[in-house]
Structure 1
Amino acid sequence: MTARSARGPRIIQGGMGVAVSGWRLARAVSLTGQMGVVSGTALEIVCARRLQQGDLGGDIRRALAHFPVPGVAERILRTYYVAGGKPATAPFRPVLRFSLQPSRVLAELTIAANFVEVYLAKEGHDGLIGINYLRKIELPIPFGCYGAMLAGVDHVLVGAGNPAHLPGLLDGLASHQPVALPVRVQGATSADGQHAIRFDPRAYAPPGQHPLKRPRFDAIVASVDLAEGLAADPGTRPDGFIVEGATAGGHNAPPRGPRRVDDTGQPVYDDRDVVDPRSMTRFGLPFWMAGSYGTPAGLARAVAAGATGVQVGTAFAYCEESGMAAEWKRRVVELAARGDVPVRTDGRASPTGFPFKVVQLPGTLSDEDVYADRERLCDLGVLRTAYRKPDGSVGYRCPAEPVAMYRSHGGGREANTAGRRCLCNGLMAAAGFAQQRAGGYTEPPVITAGTDFTAVRELLRRLPADRQTYRATDVVAHLLETEKELP
C-alpha cells in the first residue's frame, strides 16, 4: 500500500469540510504511504471547541506543548480549556472574527491551531501531510499557512478561487518575511488602492527565526484555462495541480458559460466543464484528478492519461477515522448501502456563491422545515465578505445573516440572501461541534458528499461480519488493487 510514482503519491485524501479531514484521518492515510490532508477551514474555532469539550485524549494539549512560540499555548488554554468538558447544554465560548486587522489574540490562536492539526497528523512518522484552504476564506490564510509550516507541513492545497498569490506567500513565510494577500472588497474603486490582509511573521516567530521548510503548493483548479494561466507565470506557477470535477463534494466551480439550471433547480454542467487529463500533461507538472475518480478503475484511467494519481474525498469522508459526527456518518452510510444517497448541487446554499453539494437528510439544513425554523444569524463569520462603506472604510457581511442586517450593510441586495444556509454553523455541527442556543436549540448540521458512492458501497459490501465500518487503510488498499498494472 505504499505505491507512489516518482512525482508524488498515487492517492491524495481530500481536505474536506470543517474537521471532517481531521488529523486522525490524515495521519492514517499518510501511514499507508499516500498523502493525508487536513482541512484548514476554521481551525481556530475547531481548536477552541475541542478544548472546551475537554480534550479528553489530551491530544490538543500535547501538541500545544510543542508550539515553539513562548506563552501562546498558556494563553489559549487559559481562555478555552475546560477540564472534563463543558456541560452538553452549555454554549461554546465565541472566537473573535477575522477582519483586515485581526487582533493578536486571534492571530495567535489561528497560528497555533493550524500548527496543532499538522503536528498531530505528522506525529511519529515521516509520511506526507498536506493542508487544504479555500481561497474564498482569505483572511486567515497567511496565519494558517504559517502555523502549518511551523509544524513542517509538506503540501499546501488551495482552491475555491484563484490561488495565484500563494507561491509568493509561501516563499515569504518560509523566510519569516512580511507578506500581503490581496483581498477583494466589494464596491471598492481604484482610488481606494489595493486591500490586503497583511502579516509579519517576525512578530510571532520562534526565538532564533530559523528558515522554515517551504511546502509544495498544489493549486486546485476546475479548468485548463486557470491551470494554464497559473503555470505560465513563474510567480504563480504551482508545484502541482489537483483538477476537481463538478461531481466532487463540497464547493464546486460554477458551470462555464451562461448560467443554466435543470428542472430541479440544480446548475447544469456540460462538456465545457469536463477536463481531459491529457490536456494537463503539457504543463510539465504533476497533477491529480478528482471527482468520480475514487475507484480502482478511476485511478487507472487517470494515470493512463498522464496523471500522477487521484484525489479522493467521499470514500474517506465516511470511513472510521473521519471527523464527521458518528450519527450523520451512520445515516449516510446506511443510505449508501442501499444505493440511494440523495445529493443535490445547490446553487444557493453557500454564502460564497459557489455551488455546494448537500446530502438531503431529514433533520439537517437540507430539510426546508429545519431551514425555515432556524433563526438567521451569523456569529462565526467565516464566510463573511468585505465591502466598501460609503465613508471608504471596510465592513463585512454575509448573505446568511438576518436579511435586514444584510440590507443595512452597504446596501446588500435582499435577493442575495434567498436560500442561503449558514455553512459555518452547519459544518461545525456536522463535525460534532454544534452550538447550543437559548431555549435548548441545537444548531443543525449540513452534510456534504460527492455524487459517486461506488467505492463506499464496495467497501461496505466487503466488510467482515464483525465490523460495521471500514477504515482509511481499507480505502487505500481498495484503490490500489490494480497498482501492479499502473505505469
Structure 2
Amino acid sequence: MRPATSGTTQPADLVPSTGVSEARLPVLIQGGMGVAVSGWRLARAVARTGQLGVVSGTALDVTLARRLQRGDPGGDLRRALACCPVPELAERVLGRYFVPGGIAPGTPYRPVPRLGLRPSRARDELAVVANFAEVFLAKEGHDGPVGVNYLEKIQLATPAAAYGAMLAGVDYVLMGAGIPAEIPALLDAFAAHRPAEITVAVAEAGDARHTTGLDPAALWPGAAPAEPLRRPRLLAIVSSHVLAAYLARSPVTRPDGFVLETPVAGGHSAPPRGRLVLDERGEPVYGPRDAADTAKVAAIGLPFWLAGGYATPGGAAAARATGAAGIQVGTAFALCRESGLDDGLRRRMLSRARRGALEVRNDPRASPTGFPFKVASLPGTLSEPEVFDRRPRLCDLGYLRTPYVRPGGAIGYRCPAEPVDAYVRKGRPAEEAEGRQCLCNGLTAAIGLGQHRADGYHEPALLTLGQDLGFLDGLPDDHSAADVVDHLLRGALAAHG
C-alpha cells in the first residue's frame, strides 16, 4: 500500500497481486456500518493509513438533514456542500434544512421525503448531495481509498445515492443484504452520466416489473458534463460461494470482487439454510451447509475478503492462506474513537466489552427485513424489553418498508415494525410483526440523532456489534482507527515473516 500517513505499519508483502487492475488492493477493509457509525471521520482515518475506509450510505439523507438542523457544528458539511459540482442542488438543500445555531433542544427535526416508487426531485437532490458530502469529507486531505456501503434491501435509495458518491470520486461501492445483480450496469451508466434504473421488488406484483432510477442530466442546470466520472469498483457482500458464482457468471452481473461474511459479523446475517432452528439463547443455529467454500470462491478468479471473526493479528494471514486478498473488520472500528456512535454509548459498550459483560445476541426477530440481526445489550436501549415495550410502534422514516400492490392495483408500503393493526390491514398476519424493532429510528438514535417529538418523547437507541470481541485484548483502552489497523496488519506482517 501507499506509505502510511499516521505511523501505521504497512505490510507491503501482503498486498495481493491480481489481474483485475494495475492498482493495488487493500489488505484491510473497514466495514460499512450504518446508520453513520461508519461516518466520514472513521473512513478518512482508515484511508489515511492506506487501507480501505468505508462510509455507510444508509440514510445519509436524514443524517445530513438533521446535522444541518443542528447548525452543522464545525462547518464541515457546509464546507463539503460548497464544493458540490452542482451548486444549485447544495443551495436548495441548505435552504431547506440548515438552521444557523441549531434548532432548540427538544425541537422535532424537519422530516425528509420518504422513499417511494413515485419520483421526487427533492428526495433525489437530498440523496445526491448527502452522499457527495459524506464521500467528499472522507476523501479530504489524503490519497487513500474510500468506499461507500449500500444495502440491496433499500433499493429505492440506491440510484441517487450512488450517483452522489460518484460525483465525489468514491473508489469502491460495497453492497450487501441482497443480490446486487443490476449494480454493475448502474455504475457503468452513471460513469457516463447516462440515465439508469434498477428493478424494485414489489410484493404481490406478479410478473409486473417496477423500477426506480435516475437521469443524471436532470440534476444539472444545463447539459450533464461531457467528461465521464471514474467508475468505482463494486464489491458484493455475500455469505455463500453459490451466490458469488451466480453473480460472476455473466459480465452483466459480475462485480469486481466479494466480501465473504460469516454469521458472527455485525448487523444483519443471512439466515441458516434449511429449516430455522434456535439454540437455548433463541439464536439461529448455523451448520456445515452455511459455511462458504473459500476454495470455490477463489476459483472464480475475482479478489475477495473474509469478514466476521478475523479481527486478530493472524486474521489477515489466515484469510490470505485461503486465497483471499485480506479481511473486512467492523466491530473493532465501531468501538474506536472515530466511530460515529454516540460517544457515551460507545464508551459504555467498550467498558462492558472489556469486562466480558457485553452480550451481543443474534436476534432472529428484531429486524423488519426477516434476517437475523445482532443486538448489543445495554441498559436504557431497545435491547431491554421494558424500553422496547414503552416505545410506540411507528414507521416514520421508512427505509425498510416493502412496496406491495394493493387490491385495485395501487402501490402501498408496509413494515412489520409499524403498528400491528396497520400491518394487518395491509394484508399480513400479526405474528410477522411480533418482536420487530424499528431499526431506522433506533440506529439513528445510536449516533445521537434520534427524533424528539412534540410530546417530549425521545427515540431510544438500538445498538449492533459483531459477536467476536476478542480483538480488544490487543488494543489500548480507548483505541483509535489507526490502532486497529496497526494491530491487525503488524501481526499479519509478522505472520508472513
Query: 1:181-208: per-residue Cα shift (whole Å, max 9, x none)?
Result: 1111111112xx2111122111114753
Aligned equivalent of 1:54: 71
Distance 2:70 2:92 in 1: 17
Aligned equivalent of 1:473: 482
Question: SS at 1:438's partner residue?
Answer: coil
Aligned equivalent of 1:452: 468
The one of 10, 18, 29 equivalent to 1:2 is 10
Distance 2:143 2:118 in 1: 36
Aligned equivalent of 2:219: 204
Aligned equivalent of 1:439: 455
Aligned equivalent of 1:39: 56
Query: 1:74-109: per-residue Cα shift (whole Å, max 9, x none)?
Result: 111111111111122111111110111231011000
Query: 1:278-324: per-residue Cα shift (whole Å, max 9, x none)?
Result: 33210111100000011112211101111100000000000000100
Distance 2:496 2:226 in 1: 44
The one of 344, 365, 368 equivalent to 2:361 is 344
- 1:330-341 alignment runs, 5 A limit: 330-341=347-358
The one of 263, 273, 277 equivalent to 2:290 is 273
Aligned equivalent of 1:111: 128
1:209, CA displacement in angstroms? 4.0
| 1:97 and 2:114 are equivalent in the alignment | yes
Aligned equivalent of 2:4: none
Query: 1:378-427: per-residue Cα shift (whole Å, max 9, x none)?
Result: 11011111001111121111111111111222x12211110010000000
Aligned equivalent of 1:421: 437
Query: 1:442-469: per-residue Cα shift (whole Å, max 9, x none)?
Result: 100000000011112321xxx3xxxx51
Q: Which amino acid in 1 is paired with 2:381?
A: T
Query: 1:165-194: per-residue Cα shift (whole Å, max 9, x none)?
Result: 11111111111112111111111112xx21
The one of 195, 216, 221 equivalent to 2:233 is 216
Distance 1:198 1:305 in 2: 38
1:255, CA displacement in angstroms? 0.7
Distance 1:18 1:375 in 2: 21
Question: SS at 1:87's partner residue?
Answer: coil
- The answer as to whether partners of 2:217 and 2:224 remain within 8 angstroms in 1 is no
Distance 1:210 1:283 in 2: 33
Gap runs ≥5 in structure 1? none
| 1:395 and 2:412 are equivalent in the alignment | yes
Q: Could you say if the C-alpha distance between residues 111 and 18 of structure 1 is closer, same or farther in structure 2, counting changes exceeding 3 Å?
A: same
The one of 93, 105, 110 equivalent to 1:76 is 93
Distance 2:87 2:343 in 1: 36
- The answer as to whether partners of 1:304 and 1:486 remain within 8 angstroms in 2 is no
Distance 2:403 2:368 in 1: 13
- The answer as to whether partners of 1:386 and 1:395 remain within 8 angstroms in 2 is yes
- 1:66-215 alignment runs, 5 A limit: 66-190=83-207, 193-205=208-220, 207-215=224-232
Query: 1:252-292: per-residue Cα shift (whole Å, max 9, x none)?
Result: 11111111111222111112112243332101111000000
Superposed CA RMSD in Å reads: 1.3
Q: Which amino acid in 1 is paired with 2:255?
A: P
Query: 1:5-58: per-residue Cα shift (whole Å, max 9, x none)?
Result: 334111000000201000000000000010000000000001001111111110
Question: SS at 2:490's partner residue?
Answer: coil
Question: SS at 1:83's partner residue?
Answer: coil
Distance 2:10 2:211 in 1: 42
Aligned equivalent of 1:486: 496
Distance 1:307 1:290 in 2: 11
**Aligned positions, number:** 477
Aligned equivalent of 2:6: none
Question: SS at 2:248's partner residue?
Answer: helix
TM-score by length of 1: 0.96
- The answer as to whether partners of 1:303 and 1:486 remain within 8 angstroms in 2 is no
Distance 1:485 1:405 in 2: 56
- 1:234-249 alignment runs, 5 A limit: 234-249=251-266
The one of 400, 423, 439 equivalent to 1:383 is 400
| 1:359 and 2:376 are equivalent in the alignment | yes
Q: Which amino acid in 2 is paired with 1:201?
A: P
Question: SS at 2:61's partner residue?
Answer: helix
Question: SS at 1:226's partner residue?
Answer: helix
- The answer as to whether partners of 1:345 and 1:358 remain within 8 angstroms in 2 is yes
Q: Which amino acid in 1 is paired with 2:192?
A: S
- Greater mean deviation of Cα atoms: 29-38 or 67-76: 67-76
Question: SS at 2:465's partner residue?
Answer: coil
- The answer as to whether partners of 1:69 and 1:207 remain within 8 angstroms in 2 is no
TM-score by length of 2: 0.94
Q: Which amino acid in 1 is paired with 2:472?
A: V
1:484, CA displacement in angstroms? 4.5
Q: Which amino acid in 2 is paired with 1:452?
A: D
Distance 2:276 2:294 in 1: 25
- The answer as to whether partners of 1:277 and 1:302 remain within 8 angstroms in 2 is no
- 1:258-337 alignment runs, 5 A limit: 258-337=275-354
Query: 1:317-342: per-residue Cα shift (whole Å, max 9, x none)?
Result: 00000100011101110111112220
Q: Which amino acid in 1 is paired with 2:100?
A: A
Q: Which amino acid in 2 is paired with 1:472?
A: A
Query: 1:331-362: per-residue Cα shift (whole Å, max 9, x none)?
Result: 11011111222011011111111110000112
Question: SS at 1:345's partner residue?
Answer: strand
Question: SS at 1:396's partner residue?
Answer: strand
